[in-house]
Amino acid sequence: MQFGEVKNLWSKKGNTSPLLVFLGHTDVVPTGPEGNWQSPPFEPSERDGYLYGRGTADMKANIAAFVTALERFCQEHPQSFSASKNGSIALLLTSDEEGPSVDGTVKVVEALIKRQEKIDYCIVGEPSSVNAVGDMVKNGRRGSLNGRIYVKGVQGHAAYPHKAINPIHTFAAALAELCQGQWDKGNQFFPPTTFQVTNLNSGTGAENVTPGALEAWINFRYSTESTADSLIATVEAILSKHNVDYKIEWRLSGEPFLTATGKLLKAVQQSILAETGLTTELSTSGGTSDGRFIAPSGAEVIELGLVNDTIHKVDECCSIADLSKLSNIYQGILQRLFGEE
């Protein structure tokens, strides 16, 4: 399913509900200086029980675990997902997750909705584990809201401030209030909403000239106790309160989502326990994932994958032994949701 320059794969077996989707991405972040790698980043290398290469943990090895689990399950249950059996499985792979996420999963989901193909369960292969495979899964994610604030001033000579309007000064009080604000208190699943300034630019480069404009980029990572609309309204009220001459551009990267209970979460927990002996920890920490495009349809969404210690780093790697464990966990989930009695 191609949208723009992005190729997405949608592979499905069965035509009845419920539908379980394994969701992954094949694109990766840049390598950084390749000379800092112990081995070429795009040539897989095995050393001391680990597989090295860009994308091993995030998340091509997780996709390999998807595929091998699906292969084994379908071989062992040849009658599953036939016309007489309830349930379907699908594999959704995109190459637009680490980038702008414009023509990837979001477009596939839109197409599926038009075709009336409803996703009931979704396992996202993000590297969710911390110290051992399966020790943590993500049963939700915070929302992400970005704003670009443009403050207007009047450029002038630093010695004659009464003849200029310094946007740094006019913005300072509002910025202090934004930084000190408590947006909500979070809840049992989410920490309190956070506010961060990610870029702040002003000035002409001269010591004796006050600037005529200021640009600030801000980001919220927000819980289900807040909404994008409530955060936007509060920010704009604070700016107006301090008489800031501004305009602002907002971009919603993703709404928060949560799978607090359900058949999928139960199957995931049981499969991890059976394979590793671990009682997995539930978390909504970290950034966003493509699960944000699946959850609004009402699907249960869980992120489960390899240890994330080296993702996006030089010498990214994953434990080879963990690959088998993860594949077995995925197969266990299939068995618990669709296995024949």
Mean pLDDT of 17-34: 96
Residue 249 is among the residues annotated as catalytic for this protein: no
**Do residues 237 and 324 both lie within one domain?**
no
Q: Which residues fall within 8 angstroms of residue 230, CB to CB, at 6 or more apart?
A: none
Catalytic one among 58, 96, 97, 322?
97
**Do residues 134 and 203 both lie within one domain?**
no
Residue 309 is among the residues annotated as catalytic for this protein: no
**Do residues 39 and 99 both lie within one domain?**
yes
Which residue, of 254, 271, 289, is where some domain finishes?
Answer: 254
Asked if the model's pLDDT at residue 341 lies above 60, the reply is no
**What tens digit of pLDDT does each residue of 229-277 get?**
999 999 999 999 999 999 999 999 999 999 999 999 999 999 999 999 9
Return the half-sphere exposure (C-beta side, CA atoms, 13 A cut-off) of residue 178. 27
What's the CA angle centered on 222, arms 219 and 224, to 5 degrees?
160
Task: Give the model's confidence band at 86: pLDDT under 50 very low, under 70 low, under 90 confident, else very high.
Answer: confident
Return the half-sphere exposure (C-beta side, CA atoms, 13 A cut-off) of residue 31. 16
**Do residues 164 and 229 both lie within one domain?**
yes
For residues 86 and 97, the model is more confident at 97
Which residue, of 203, 238, 254, is where some domain finishes?
Answer: 254
**Do residues 306 and 157 both lie within one domain?**
no
Q: Average pLDDT of the chain? A: 95
Burial string for 10-22 (b: 16+ CB within 10 Å, else e) reads eeeebeeebbbbb
- Residue 190 has what DSSP assignment? S
pTM, rounded to two decimals: 0.89
Catalytic one among 27, 225, 236, 309?
27
Handedness of CA 217, 247, 232, 250 (dihedral sign): negative
**Do residues 234 and 288 both lie within one domain?**
no
Give the CATH number of the domain where residue 312 resides: 3.40.630.10
Give the CATH number of the domain where residue 162 resides: 3.30.70.360
3-class DSSP assignment, residue 51: strand
Which residue, of 208, 224, 254, is where some domain finishes?
Answer: 254
**Do residues 51 and 152 both lie within one domain?**
no
What is the count of structural domains for the chain?
2
**Do residues 246 and 293 both lie within one domain?**
no
**Do residues 70 and 109 both lie within one domain?**
yes
**What tens digit of pLDDT does each residue of 297-331 get?**
899 999 999 999 999 999 999 999 999 999 999 99
What the block records as the tokens of 277 is 């002996």
Q: What is the spatial distance between Cα 325 and Cα 132, in angstroms, rounded to a whole number?
A: 10
The mean-pLDDT minimum among 12-16, 37-41, 261-265 falls in 12-16
Tell me what percent of the residues of the chain surpass a pLDDT of 90. 93
Q: What is the spatial distance between Cα 299 and Cα 262, in angstroms, rounded to a whole number?
A: 10
**What tens digit of pLDDT does each residue of 62-75 get?**
999 999 999 999 99
| C-beta of residue 138 within 8 angstroms of C-beta of residue 234 | no
Nearest to 257 by CA among 312, 201, 301: 301
**What tens digit of pLDDT does each residue of 106-147 get?**
999 999 999 999 999 999 999 999 999 999 999 999 999 999
Mean pLDDT of 4-33: 95
- pLDDT value at residue 141: 96
**Do residues 96 and 152 both lie within one domain?**
no
Domain that holds residue 233: 143-254
**Do residues 237 and 286 both lie within one domain?**
no
What the block records as the tokens of 145 is 């809201």
**Do residues 327 and 310 both lie within one domain?**
yes
